[in-house]
Amino acid sequence: MKKVFVSGCYDILHAGHIQFFEEARALGDYLIVSFASAEVLWHHKRRKPSIPDDHKRVLLQGLRVIDEVIVTQGHKEGLDFEEDFLRLRPDFLIVTDDDKYGLLKRELCAKVGAQYVILPKTPPRFEPVSTSSIVRWVQAPTEAPLRVDFAGGWLDVPRFSRPGEFIVNCAISPLVSLREWPYEKQAGLGGSGAWALLNGRDGVNSELDMGVGWQDPAVIRETGLCVWRSGKSPVLDFKQNGDFLTGRLAILWTGKSHDTPGFADYVRDYDRIAESGRLARDGALHANPQRLAEGMSVYYQAQLDEGMEPLLAIPGAMAHKYCGGGYGGYALYLFEDAAMRTQALAASENLRAIEPFCRI
């Protein structure tokens, strides 16, 4: 009888584990699966298992492909199963091609004459997942805000970042969910960042991979009225709940969507953009809507100089600008007071009210 031995955490069992077990079992007659005990998991990774050891053992034992389950207690990194392996003397030790402890495991196999086998990553029969991705999915919120940016945009793109400068933005409601999305798509409101958060993914890395900045997923995850330090990754300068903007904000659909990555490398006035961020930061710091409007206006002028079409002027609005990279999508309007916004909403079908959103 050929004994096959595999080891791992198997903290949250998923179909990828089953496929691995089946491929390992096919190499012999008897499959032994070991997993690190809760005490060992804490010793090496400083985290608790998702379920108690006895529950995990029962789950594994219930799989018809597995013949024996062992809970390991060893503290040797990468070889917590060494004592059991030497006792059982299996014929094969099966690992995946991303195993980090190959040298140690080969030496262990040599002690008992076992064959060290690396299973290649065969095409999965299903969309691959990992334990960490399952945890992120379970922890993902059911609703998320989108965002509007007041000033300093593009300074969150690593290659355009400027030390000492700022990006000012705000999470907004109404919220969105995987089933309800009450906004236009590709609209400059950070929808891709919200979508990543709702699906339990790291939106910051996703945005950076597209060659754009991190401000969308950063503020959508943080919520509130935020000031960020320009740089290669999100660093929060300060935040507040944004209550002084309640009743003052609205967005106007321009009639066409936009593609931020498509014009990331356009020529633009980064000195003026940096100035807008400093003004808007001062407005956010002192809860001063007039100062915030000044920052918006400076940024809007940079957008016009870049070649964007002038936006509709609306009575009662202190400032307006394109959201996100512009050239379409939504435009943001900041009103003098709630009464002025109410009048503007009554006069325009394309204008809609939004409010600051801050999750405590």
Q: Give, for all 360 residues of the chain, the pLDDT tens digit.
A: 999 999 998 988 888 899 999 999 999 999 999 999 999 988 887 778 888 999 999 999 999 999 999 999 999 999 999 999 999 999 999 999 889 999 999 999 999 999 999 998 766 666 666 767 777 777 778 999 999 999 999 999 999 999 999 999 999 999 999 999 999 988 999 998 999 889 888 767 766 566 678 999 999 999 999 999 999 999 999 999 999 999 999 999 999 988 777 788 899 999 999 999 999 999 999 999 999 999 999 999 999 999 999 999 999 999 999 999 999 999 999 999 999 999 999 999 999 999 999 987
CATH number at residue 7: 3.40.50.620
CATH number at residue 237: 3.30.230.120
Please tell me whether the overall predicted TM-score, pTM, comes out greater than 0.85 for this model: no
In this structure, the answer to whether residues 126 and 195 fall within a common structural domain is no
- Nearest Cα to 174, choosing from 142, 143, 216? 143
In this structure, the answer to whether residues 199 and 329 fall within a common structural domain is yes
Interacting residues of 248 by C-beta distance below 8 A, sequence separation 6+: 289, 334, 335, 336, 337, 338, 341
Domain boundary among 109, 136, 163: 136
Provide the total of helices (H) and of strands (E) in the chain, helices listed first. 12, 14
Residue 255 CA, distance from chain mean position: 29
In this structure, the answer to whether residues 227 and 198 fall within a common structural domain is yes
In this structure, the answer to whether residues 132 and 147 fall within a common structural domain is no
Segments in 228-287 forming alpha helices (H) = 270-285
Three-state DSSP state, 10:
coil
- Nearest Cα to 168, choosing from 299, 47, 263? 299
Domain boundary among 94, 111, 136: 136
Domain boundary among 74, 102, 136: 136
In this structure, the answer to whether residues 89 and 158 fall within a common structural domain is no
Phi, psi of 143, rounded to the nearest 5 degrees: -135, 155
pLDDT of residue 125: 65
Domains in the chain: how many in total? Answer: 2
In this structure, the answer to whether residues 99 and 160 fall within a common structural domain is no
In this structure, the answer to whether residues 17 and 66 fall within a common structural domain is yes
Structural domain span for residue 305: 140-356
Interacting residues of 9 by C-beta distance below 8 A, sequence separation 6+: 35, 36, 41, 45, 49, 131
Sheet-wide strand order for 92-96: 68-72, 30-36, 3-8, 92-96, 115-119
In this structure, the answer to whether residues 64 and 159 fall within a common structural domain is no
In this structure, the answer to whether residues 254 and 269 fall within a common structural domain is yes
In this structure, the answer to whether residues 94 and 30 fall within a common structural domain is yes
In this structure, the answer to whether residues 230 and 320 fall within a common structural domain is yes
In this structure, the answer to whether residues 343 and 283 fall within a common structural domain is yes
CA gap 218, 221 in Å, rounded: 5
